Amino acid sequence: MEFLEYTHNLWLVAASLSVSLVAAFTGFSLTRGIAAQPVALRKLSVTLAAIALGGGIWSMHFVAMLGLQLPIPIYYDAMITLGSALIAILMVGAALLLLHFYPRTHASLTVAGGIIGLGIVAMHYLGMSGLQLCRAIYTLPGVVFAVLAACGLSVAAIWVAYGQRRPRNILLGTLAFGLAVFLVHFAAIFGTRFVAVPTVQEIGPLMGNEVLALGVLISSFVLCGAFLLTGVTFLAQGAKAEAVAAKPSEPVPVLQRIPYEQNGRTHFIDAHDVAFLRAEGHYTLLYTGANKHFCTWSITEAERRLNPGPFLKVHRSYLVNPSHVAHFERRKDNGLCHFRLGGQDVTTPVSRSRLAELREALGV
């Protein structure tokens, strides 16, 4: 069996890396901060991110394939080529659903990265199976290495990008994911040999490099447009954060006090000393240290009177002071704030709709 000699166009190799990085930044930026969005809008954001990341994997692969220079003309089966794009988008979408609709744990981050890695490999080998007049021959070590590299690098990229959803993590995750897709492709190609075949075994219509180049150009154009839009948003958020940091500090207001009743008298307590307020009918109870006090305010009035102030409304019956939270527990649909009061662990519920605001206040 005679193997074909091949080389790569270095300009298209560089272009494939650029496409991979653009897709990674666009996808990760689209999913930033969507925990605070309504479910319907969150689903749309995840869908767009899956198209950006999955479509970017596909575009990177075929930009690199356009740069593959063989001594014979080659064609691609259009149905298989389209199928390789769909499988990349679907598997990336499954990983993003896991990351954004289930509790984010070490296990879920690893599983999501593994799914994306398998999606990269599946897209690569399915896309390669669409070659016509040329057949790719793989070695077992090459395939094993490609699978391990794809999964390992993808898990690392997800851990970096989703460990903390800060701008720095987004950029580092972009670099890790972009390099993962790029390196896996060329690692797989390095373990592949090509032979000429005289017959065509197409499932759908054939397309040459010219048609493929047009399709890749369109997909890359869409990715670049999305990149510019998300980039503007990314930079605007960074500029806003810098402006807030540079804003001169205002005089610290006098600490607010909360009235409570005890022994027929009205006493006052500094609002910052109260761990949380709990609704008790038309009144509230103040929890501070080992004590709780009766306040004549309703929970609605307390929220109005203490705004702005140290409290966040995390549930229809609770206002909590984030500075007193000992630790936070995320559950499937809601959460719990744990307080250490009087030597005992006291918890307050956190509604699903309030999770994002509380996590932001706690810095998690």
Q: What average pLDDT does the chain have?
A: 83
Q: Which of the residue ranges 26-40, 54-68, 86-100 would you say has the lowest mean pLDDT?
A: 26-40
pLDDT at 253: 47
Q: What percent of the chain has pLDDT over 90?
A: 13
- pLDDT tier, 155 (very low <50, low <70, confident <90, very high otherwise): very high
pLDDT at 239: 54
Name the token pair of 272: 């910052």
CA distances from 20 to 30, 159, 161, 270 (A): 16, 18, 15, 54
- pLDDT tens-digit series, residues 273-320: 899 999 888 889 999 887 889 998 888 888 888 887 788 888 888 999
pLDDT at 93: 92
- pLDDT tens-digit series, residues 236-285: 555 554 454 445 544 444 457 889 988 888 999 888 889 999 988 888 99
Q: Which residue has the higher pLDDT, 210 or 60?
A: 60
Which residue in this structure is represented by tokens 């997800």?
Answer: 158
Contacts of the segment 163-166: beta carbons below 8 A, 24+ positions apart = 163/109, 165/32, 165/33
pLDDT at 151: 92
**3-state secondary structure at position 195:** strand
What distance in Å separates the CA atoms of residue 81 and residue 206, rounded to the nearest whole number?
Answer: 10
pLDDT at 204: 65
With b meaning 16 or more CB within 10 Å and e meaning fewer, what string describes 188-222?
bbebbebeeeeeeeeeeeebebeebeebbeebbee
What distance in Å separates the CA atoms of residue 109 and residue 139, rounded to the nearest whole number?
Answer: 30
pLDDT at 148: 92
Q: How many CB atoms lie under 10 A from the CB of residue 326?
A: 13
Q: Which of the residue ranges 71-80, 223-232, 292-301, 353-362 would you say has the lowest mean pLDDT?
A: 223-232
What distance in Å separates the CA atoms of residue 160 and residue 174, rounded to the nearest whole number?
Answer: 9
Residue 60's nearest CA partner among 9, 8, 11, 23 is: 23
Name the token pair of 323: 């500075």
Q: How many CB atoms lie under 10 A from the CB of residue 174?
A: 23
Please state the length of the chain: 364
pLDDT average, residue stretch 41-48: 86
pLDDT average, residue stretch 317-324: 90
- pLDDT tens-digit series, residues 192-245: 888 888 776 667 677 776 777 777 777 767 777 776 666 666 655 555 544 544
Residue 34's nearest CA partner among 25, 24, 43, 22 is: 43
pLDDT average, residue stretch 39-44: 83
pLDDT at 44: 87
pLDDT at 95: 93
Contact 346, 290 (CB under 8 A): no
Residue 81's nearest CA partner among 278, 219, 273, 173 is: 219
Strand blocks (E) in 120-182: 131-132, 134-138
Q: Does an H or E element contain 181, and which?
A: helix 167-190
Contact 136, 189 (CB under 8 A): no
Name the token pair of 301: 């009035």
